[in-house]
A and B are shown apart, each in its own frame.
Chain A
């Protein structure tokens, strides 16, 4: 069985503030494993996800995602297999359309090509449909509600046909109707078992989908079965 995630003596910090100290984890899994990242606010769950993507440098120790260390020469190829849904909505002022944003998720699959081909367009259409946002494809991203934006972000993460989805609080800060739609969407994705997931959430309904958990507490992280 391949290794999804491996850390050895990993330490993470924000300046002088320690987030995680000497954490060793090994997460095996083929396609379709759903792992919940639980813990109180500020325990380091989002920082851990960012470290997995190479967005946050480790203070010490080692980390490998899908067999490659973030920042290593081989990690760019690994990024093509990952879909990431961050917690915060970008504050940029660029008026991109929903279709343009979802197409960005296909970037890792383009390799030397500069344009989307037929297969890329099919994947983008499929992602828009899976996230139920096909009707929004020509809308500007700034015009979307919180729930619509979150579904578009999911479509963007799915457009690259990822082996692993990293979802950071996908149902937070949404109104009830939007939350329900997003939870239903992630539930149906989880049921297909096409991609593994690392899921940061406080949402009981989403956490119920998980096979195992990484619990974050007191600068430590421990792996537990559901």
Chain B
């Protein structure tokens, strides 16, 4: 075991799991509250376009993908501003447009599409030093902003229009939330792979939501479940010789199911107690 800790990829994996485990469940809470569940598909495709453009310009794929995700986030926020909660239609538009433009870039610039699609097959054990630095910076940024602006974020997630009547710059806060979600999804793609981004965002938030009412409680318990899922899943992967991301997501699903059972039992108990 000690030899494993001596390996840089293993150490980078542990740091990334800790950073994303603590921070990214907050994004899951925001995704669920704003009904941005389909955002990951839109952002992934925007990231693909960014990676393609990055390869075209000769810059690393991940920073280019992050930049494209942020632009997509601003677009999604702009398009969804008029609807009170859901941004589903806007996300669909961003997703298809990004995919269309990506394939035009692949075709016209004769880029190897497989290189750009590499972005989708992330693995926590394959993180480069640059990717780790970007992941930790993103995680710390999300955590710091969530902590500093918890009231503003809570008000906007509760009701954007009402938030404006408190004197909160609701539009800025909403844009900030959507862009933080997009940043987190772009980073999480390298940690877990595109199809398992939910493992570090939505699953811990879902488990927390089952057990805890209130924004602060959801964020704290989300961080707890995020760490438990990441390190528990990673340990399972090592012990049982499994790929890391699927092990994290399977353990996450089991924890979410267990939290749901506890929630159901609690609410049945509460109903029985009521006169």
Contact = CB atoms under 8 A, between A and B. Distances in A.
Interface of A: 53-55, 76, 79-80, 82, 84, 86, 90-97, 99-101, 103-105, 107-108, 110, 114, 138-141
Interface string B205-227: 00001000111101000000000
Nearest to B213: A140
A94 B154 contact: yes
Interface string B24-45: 0000010011110000000000
B214 A95 contact: yes
Contact of A91 (B29, B84, B154, B215): B84
Contacts of B209: 95
Nearest to A111: B167
A139 B274 CA distance: 14
Interface stretch (B61-69, B107-115, B158-166): B158-166
Given A86-B161, A91-B85, A108 B213 contact: no
Interface of B: 29, 32-35, 84-85, 148, 151, 154-155, 157-159, 161-168, 209, 213-216, 218
A90 B158 contact: yes
B215 A100 contact: yes
A80 B29 CA distance: 28
Contact of B214 (A91, A92, A97): A97
Contact of B165 (A53, A93, A99, A141): A53
A101 to B, nearest CB: 7
B266 to A, nearest CB: 12
B155 to A, nearest CB: 5
A55 B213 contact: no
A61 to B, nearest CB: 21
5 contacts: A53-B165, A90-B162, A96-B213, A96-B214, A100-B215
B154 A139 contact: no
Given A55-B165, A103-B151, A104-B155, 18 more contacts: A54-B164, A55-B164, A79-B167, A82-B165, A90-B84, A90-B158, A92-B85, A92-B159, A93-B35, A94-B158, A96-B154, A96-B214, A100-B214, A104-B163, A105-B166, A108-B166, A108-B167, A140-B213
Nearest to B35: A93
Contacts of A108: 166-167
In the A-B complex, the 3 residue pairs with the smallest Cβ-Cβ separation, listed nearest first, are A90-B159, A94-B33, A107-B166
Nearest to A140: B213
Contacts of B158: 90, 92, 94, 96, 101, 104, 141
Interface hub of B148, B163, B213 (most chain A Cβ within 10 A): B213
Contacts of A139: 213
B164 to A, nearest CB: 6
Contacts of B154: 94, 96, 100, 104
A190 B133 CA distance: 59
B164 A53 contact: yes
Contacts of B32: 93
Contacts of B84: 90-91
